[in-house]
Structure 1
Amino acid sequence: MKKDGHIHTPYCPHGTNDSFHMYIEKAIKRGFQAITFTEHAPLPIGFIDPTPDKDSGMSIDQLESYISELEKLKKEYNKDIVISTGLEVDFITGFEQITTSFLNTYGKYLDDSILSVHFLKYENDYTCIDFSKTTFLEFVDRLGNPMSVYKLYYKTLTDSITSNLGNFKPKRIGHITLVHKFQHAFTEEVHDHEDIVAILNEIKHQQLELDVNSAGLAKPYCLESYPPPSYIKLAKELEIPLVFGSDAHQAKDLHQSYNEISTLL
């Protein structure tokens, strides 16, 4: 099935106002049989968003409207394409119980969701590692070197994969090499092959899916998919279910690099 399983929406506070219809009509035109809208879930109660505009997740006040609007769109387009309601849920160290409570409340309304790591806890605060090159490099300086950041990322990612977030825990793990987003912003080469292999083996062990995310190809300091092609091939050999995701935050980026990635799926 031709599917894009990682799509953002006009409910994204750091995205665009491109309408649901723009995304859906483009997907139909491109011959996709299924799409999942995975808006950034509201951040856990008590978590302070470290980004300047505090716009990493949708407002909890908008969530019911988001779900309701998608239910209407499913009926409107039921003869043309399968639309799934989803969220991209953040795994944040220290907020596991609150996230579980959130999923227990809203999980029954979701068809297909993603669990991702964007925030890393170090000492007593959090950093959004994909916010900007400046933020990432400052975090590298704080921890001492890029490898320390990578190790912390993969440790947090492993915790997300093995976490018990209840019956509605998302079944797909998002962009597992997001830490590569600014890899070309520093000269030091980081060797994380064993870490990525371990992540894939844990995803296999936990019987979860992999978000094969093309967004990194468009990032000037990344220039590769999340994960890179060799690990997509390894995931396939491990028989991990693979789901393409464009991670589009505007309609023009929908299905970005699909033709390039699809040959690996």
Structure 2
Amino acid sequence: MYYDGHVHTPFCPHGSKDTLEMYIERAISLGIKGITFTEHAPLPKTFTDPAPTKDSAMLYDQLGSYFEQIKELKKFYEKEIEIYTGLEVDFIDGYEDETGQLLKEVWPELDDAILSVHFLQIQENYYCMDYDENVFKEMINKTGTLSALYSLYFETVKKSIVHSFGKFQPKRIGHITLAKKFQTLFPAEFSIEKEIDEVLTAVSERSLTLDYNGAGAVKPYCLEPYPSNWIVKEAQKRKIPLVYGSDAHSAKGLGQGFHQLVPSAALTSPLLLNRAE
């Protein structure tokens, strides 16, 4: 029995149309103890979605329906599975104030929240770094080298960790090695140990948790969870809590990558330390 703390929904414009009930029934069939629905939170109103298909996140006017549907299903399935209401919130460098306002607004509805980096600013433009390999290649060209792009990504992740949203602080940091999504196409011939040490130090100092994300293991150009095994072991040495997340965008995606996790990894409930004190 385990928790899946990172699950998307039919409210995701780049996901499937599988219903919330389909996700829940699938989770029950897998013996999952509890799930957090963590749909992509609406992007800041003054931010233009840089994804070519403009489908990175749910729309602002969908929030009410999203929260209400989950609330109803919590009651219906309360004897079978634990269901938590969450969001995956984007940390976008330069848009912290608007993100903070959104967190303040939705906070009464949330049991759980993940703070993730998907968008990077290169020169005057933002890019959705995990959109596809072509966008990623363009980002390498814009930054000059793969090493420079990795450095920018990890620097932004560190900013997301050390930035304070006060009492509306998400307590889990999403897929900290998302930059490796296309690693078999663009292999890194350099060390990221320094960057990872700085990220883990910041996570530990702020008493945050890490999203141990199985989606990378099924991505054809990644083939390992986010983060990598050696990083998980370093996190364990620092006693950083790990929360498994499938990052499922369809019901069949629940549990993905779970069997590729470090066998000794001590996984915890999504609700541990997830809210500000």
* Structure 1: distance between partners of 2:145 and 2:52: 24
2:210 aligned with 1:213, yes or no? no
- Give 1:184's aligned residue: 184
Q: Secondary structure at the match of 2:58?
A: coil
Instruction: Return 5+ residue gaps in structure 2 as ranges.
Output: 266-277
* Matched residue type, 2:70: L
Deviations 1:225-263, CA, capped at 9 Å, x for gaps: 100111111111211111000000011111112133262
* Matched residue type, 2:235: A
Aligned-residue identity in percent: 49
Deviations 1:1-50, CA, capped at 9 Å, x for gaps: 61000000000000010011111111111111111000000000100001
Q: Secondary structure at the match of 1:113?
A: strand
Shift of 1:92: 0.2
TM-score (norm 1): 0.97
* Structure 2: distance between partners of 1:187 and 1:237: 27
* Structure 1: distance between partners of 2:58 and 2:262: 30
- Give 1:41's aligned residue: 41
Deviations 1:189-227, CA, capped at 9 Å, x for gaps: 132122112211110111001000011111111111100
- Give 1:20's aligned residue: 20
Compared CA separation, residues 30 and 123, structure 1 to 2 (3 A): same
* Structure 1: distance between partners of 2:151 and 2:42: 27
* Matched residue type, 1:198: E
Compared CA separation, residues 187 and 216, structure 1 to 2 (3 A): closer
- Give 2:223's aligned residue: 223
* Structure 1: distance between partners of 2:52 and 2:21: 30
* Matched residue type, 2:141: D
Q: Secondary structure at the match of 1:62?
A: helix
Q: Secondary structure at the match of 1:58?
A: coil
- Give 1:246's aligned residue: 246
- Give 2:137's aligned residue: 137
* Structure 1: distance between partners of 2:191 and 2:97: 33
- Give 1:56's aligned residue: 56
- Please identify runs of 4+ aligned residues in structure 1 that moved more than 3 A: none
Compared CA separation, residues 29 and 149, structure 1 to 2 (3 A): same
Mean Cα deviation higher: 239-248 or 21-30: 21-30
* Structure 1: distance between partners of 2:98 and 2:114: 17
* Structure 2: distance between partners of 1:238 and 1:188: 26
- Give 2:271's aligned residue: none
Do 1:13 and 1:58's aligned partners in 2 also have CA atoms closer than 8 Å? yes
* Matched residue type, 1:238: R
* Matched residue type, 2:253: D
Instruction: Return 5+ residue gaps in structure 1 as ranges.
Output: none
TM-score (norm 2): 0.93
- Give 1:195's aligned residue: 195
Do 1:9 and 1:39's aligned partners in 2 also have CA atoms closer than 8 Å? yes
Compared CA separation, residues 72 and 262, structure 1 to 2 (3 A): farther
Do 2:217 and 2:260's aligned partners in 1 also have CA atoms closer than 8 Å? no
Do 1:172 and 1:210's aligned partners in 2 also have CA atoms closer than 8 Å? yes
Do 1:104 and 1:166's aligned partners in 2 also have CA atoms closer than 8 Å? no
Do 1:108 and 1:168's aligned partners in 2 also have CA atoms closer than 8 Å? no
- Give 2:166's aligned residue: 166
* Matched residue type, 2:117: V
* Structure 2: distance between partners of 1:231 and 1:156: 18
Shift of 1:185: 1.1
Over the aligned positions, Cα root-mean-square deviation in angstroms equals: 1.1
